[in-house]
Amino acid sequence: MKNIQKEQGFTLIEMIGVLAVIAILVALLLPKVFEIMAESRANALVAAVRTYETAVVDYYSDIGSLLPLDVGGTPTVEATGDSATATSLGARLTLDAADALNTGANAWANFRGPYLAKFVSTVPPGLGTGVFMPATTPVAYGTTTDSTNIGWDLNNDGNSDIPTNSNVVYVQFTGISPANFDDIDAIIDPGMGTGADRALRGRVKYDTGTGALMIYLNHG
């Protein structure tokens, strides 16, 4: 007769060994997974910013101003940039030309929206906790740029390059971490500034204290 041997499963020690190997692999792979996810979200944010740029250019081509139109069709400064405010630029860019708000008076006659499919301040694209699109006046030309003033150092000399008598549109993201800033800045402003200056130079400015990111879109 043939001997019939019972099949044996893993011993407790072998199972512990396998679980230990799995735990080590997970610990090694997780940081890379999170890094890839963060890079993907940063790319999504940058793609949205480029869409905003195109919308602002198209709007300016029709209206001749970067400022949002008030009810009477006059371009007017609106510094909150909150889409919940009907007269904000973000809200106006998503407005259909046939909407009742378009009175056809003054600059409304040239309005051919929507210029942007979506802009909701409580739903930022990719990263952050909020997104806003202020349209306002900048600080005086040549003013030293800091993390909060309305000025951008576009030529890497430490001073704002936005003309004093112009209007400027920018997009502000809240709830951005330093690591998020590094990813976004590397895409939009590669080689602009070094060390702490990177947060103040170029189109992207970052306030490490509040987590606010300000990205220049256009001026005119």
Q: DSSP class of residue 139?
A: P
DSSP string, 10-71: --HHHHHHHHHHHHHHHHHHHHHHHHHHHHHHHHHHHHHHHHHHHHHHHHHHHHS-SSPB-T
Q: Answer whether 0.95 is exceeded by the pTM.
A: no
Any bridge partners for residue 136, and if so which?
168
- Please say whether the beta carbons of 187 and 44 come within 8 A: no
Chain centroid, CA 1 distance in Å: 77
Largest CA distance in the chain: 104
121: confidence class by pLDDT, cuts 50, 70, 90: very high
Q: What is the mean pLDDT of residues 161-179?
A: 96
Distance, in Å, from the CA atom of 145 to the CA atom of 73, rounded to the nearest integer, reads 33
Whether the predicted pLDDT of 22 surpasses 90:
no
Whether the predicted pLDDT of 32 surpasses 60:
no
Q: What is the mean pLDDT of residues 89-111?
A: 95
Which pLDDT tens digit goes with each residue over 41-54? Answer: 899 999 999 999 99
- Please say whether the beta carbons of 162 and 141 come within 8 A: yes
Q: What pLDDT score was predicted for residue 19?
A: 75
Q: What Å distances lie between residue 132 and 14, 15, 62, 119, CA to CA? A: 56, 53, 22, 9
Q: How many CB atoms lie within 10 A of CB 19?
A: 10
Distance, in Å, from the CA atom of 42 to the CA atom of 49, rounded to the nearest integer, reads 11
CA-wise closest residue to 145 among 79, 189, 207, 78: 207
Which pLDDT tens digit goes with each residue over 123-156? Answer: 999 999 999 999 999 999 999 999 999 999 999 9
Q: What pLDDT score was predicted for residue 10?
A: 63
Q: What pLDDT score was predicted for residue 23?
A: 73
């929507």: which residue's tokens?
A: 114
Per this entry, what is the length of the chain?
220
Distance, in Å, from the CA atom of 177 to the CA atom of 149, rounded to the nearest integer, reads 20
78: confidence class by pLDDT, cuts 50, 70, 90: very high
Whether the predicted pLDDT of 62 surpasses 60:
yes
Chain centroid, CA 25 distance in Å: 34
35: confidence class by pLDDT, cuts 50, 70, 90: low
Locate the domains of the chain by residue range: 14-219
Whether the predicted pLDDT of 182 surpasses 90:
yes
